[in-house]
Amino acid sequence: MSSGIDQNDKSEARKIAIAIAVLIALLGIALFLLFPLLSEFNSSYFVEGLGLKSAAIISFFVTTVLMIVLAIAAGDGLLGELQFMVGGFLTFFVVIWLMVAWIF
């Protein structure tokens, strides 16, 4: 009796695996066909602006000032939250750096 249920489970699992493989193949074909459109989008919207080097310098000073203001507003001063500020600094720096380079 359990062999009939087991066969049904195997059959259903096989059908699901085939469906997933077909969907992955269709996604690959769609990405391949979408590549020229993405290339055109990239060339029109991501034109050269300020540049990554200049944006990194601006982002460093903006992030430093922002971290000092947030540390003072937190009430513990600059050293009380240092372990959290390092991660916050890096996160803010990367986000502000890429946004400044992309927008300007």
- Statement: residue 74 has pLDDT above 70: yes
Query: Distances in Å between the alpha carbon of 33 and those of 19, 25, 29, 54, 69?
Result: 21, 12, 6, 36, 48
Answer whether residue 1 shows pLDDT above 60.
Answer: no
Q: Are residues 41 and 65 in the same domain?
A: no
Whether the predicted pLDDT of 13 surpasses 60: yes
Same domain, 37 and 71: no
41 and 67 assigned to the same domain: no
Q: Residue 61 and residue 38: Cα distance in Å, rounded?
A: 34
Same domain, 3 and 36: yes
Q: Are residues 25 and 57 in the same domain?
A: no
Position 44 pLDDT exceeds 80 = no
Q: Are residues 67 and 82 located together in one domain of the fold?
A: yes
pLDDT range class, residue 52, cuts 50, 70, 90: confident
Q: Can you give the residue range of the structural domain that contains 18? A: 1-47
Same domain, 32 and 11: yes
Q: Are residues 71 and 39 in the same domain?
A: no
